[in-house]
Homo-oligomer: A and B are copies of this chain.
Amino acid sequence: MIIGLDMMGGDFAPLEAVKGIQLYLSETDSPAILFLTGDEAQLNPLLQEYNIPADRVKVVHAPQVIDMHEHPTKALKEKQQSSIAIGFHLLATGKTEAFISAGNTGAMLVGAMYSIKAIEGVQRPTISTIIPKENGKTGLLLDVGLNADCKPEHLNQFAILGSLYAQHILGISNPRVALLNIGEEEGKGNILAQNTYPLLKENSQINFTGNIEGRDVLEDKADVMVCEGFTGNVILKMAESIYDITHRKEIRHEYFDRFNFELYGGTPVLGVAKPVIIGHGISHARAFCNMIKVAQKMIEADLMNKMKASFEA
């Protein structure tokens, strides 16, 4: 198994990426081979310093970097020698089986959509976040910002993608899928939610359990929570800010520790044909390590083929 990793993406790259690799190799029984895209003059000394075994990694030199604030499409086009562009090239040509970056999110999304493409039948790929539940479990919320305006069928597809991810990657059997809404009964909500409910109810590929409300997001009412990317993104960022606030105010509790995104790695782009994982710009070693683990799990679980099969049905 070969996983591609952009070493130049994120505020603390490449150092934290290297430390993440070290962590990954130390914690994993059968680790993947890692193809590392980035500036070899920076990477080689670091890999040596952190004793990364040369047989586990291969540096693929990328002389350019797409900065965090560059325009995604323009940057990808103009910087074909960037660590992200080369990373996608390796993935698209089958040299790697997954690609991970904590770099420019927009460029990662554009790359995922255009060099990897959506799974046949998927109208809109989506991104999700892990939500720490009050009782210690985790849920999946999607979409969290890739699709600000959605049609009911998009949400119905997110439900399928999220359900497969929850089942095969989060290890939740027969995951409960719910529609995020502003009322419990069928018929409640905005026009989108009203029209999405019947599709979810009729969808035999998921275990639809009905509507949930904002108060249920952090409770264990559902494993997969579906909404359009506007509301989802607001929830995601609000959850992140709660983690930050509790840290700043020194409110220490195991529950709030679980709001630390690093524990979950990054955000897989679901619905594209190969595993692509986008990390937070402020990723440290733990996040890099966990992103590699998630990519490995996605490959081992053959998730892409399971998703393809769902949309062929």
Residue numbers of A with Cβ under 8 A of B are 134, 145, 148-149, 180, 182, 189-191, 193, 213-219, 227-231, 233-238, 240-242, 244-245, 248-249, 251, 253, 255-256
Q: Which residues of B contact A219 (CB under 8 A)?
A: 241
In the bound complex, do residue A234 and residue B134 qualify as a contact, i.e. CB atoms below 8 Å apart? no
Minimum Cβ distance to chain B for residue A231 (Å): 5
Minimum Cβ distance to chain B for residue A182 (Å): 4
In the bound complex, do residue B249 and residue A233 qualify as a contact, i.e. CB atoms below 8 Å apart? no
Q: Which residues of B contact A182 (CB under 8 A)?
A: 145, 148, 229-230, 233-234, 237
Given contacts A148-B182, A182-B233, contact A215 B238 (CB under 8 A): yes
Q: Which residues of B contact A244 (CB under 8 A)?
A: 215
Q: Which residues of B contact A242 (CB under 8 A)?
A: 218, 242
Minimum Cβ distance to chain B for residue A148 (Å): 4
Q: Which residues of B contact A240 (CB under 8 A)?
A: 214-215
Minimum Cβ distance to chain B for residue A283 (Å): 17
Closest chain B residue, CB of each to CB of A252: B251
Q: Which residues of B contact A217 (CB under 8 A)?
A: 234, 238, 241
How long is the Cα–Cα vector from A231 to B256 in the complex, in angstroms? 23
How long is the Cα–Cα vector from A236 to B217 in the complex, in angstroms? 12
In the bound complex, do residue B228 and residue A190 qualify as a contact, i.e. CB atoms below 8 Å apart? yes
Q: Which residues of B contact A233 (CB under 8 A)?
A: 182, 213-214
In the bound complex, do residue B193 and residue A214 qualify as a contact, i.e. CB atoms below 8 Å apart? no
Which one of B180, B230, B237, B245 contacts A255 once the chains associate, using CB atoms below 8 Å?
B245
How long is the Cα–Cα vector from A83 to B46 in the complex, in angstroms? 74
A-B contact pairs, 24 of them (CB 8 A): A134-B245, A134-B249, A148-B191, A149-B191, A182-B229, A214-B233, A214-B236, A214-B238, A214-B240, A215-B237, A215-B240, A216-B241, A217-B234, A217-B241, A218-B238, A218-B245, A219-B241, A227-B234, A235-B235, A235-B238, A249-B253, A251-B251, A251-B255, A251-B256
How long is the Cα–Cα vector from A235 to B227 in the complex, in angstroms? 13
In the bound complex, do residue A215 and residue B235 qualify as a contact, i.e. CB atoms below 8 Å apart? no
Closest chain B residue, CB of each to CB of A145: B182
6 nearest A-B pairs in the assembled complex, by CB-CB distance: A214-B237, A148-B190, A214-B234, A215-B237, A215-B241, A182-B233
In the bound complex, do residue A149 and residue B190 qualify as a contact, i.e. CB atoms below 8 Å apart? yes
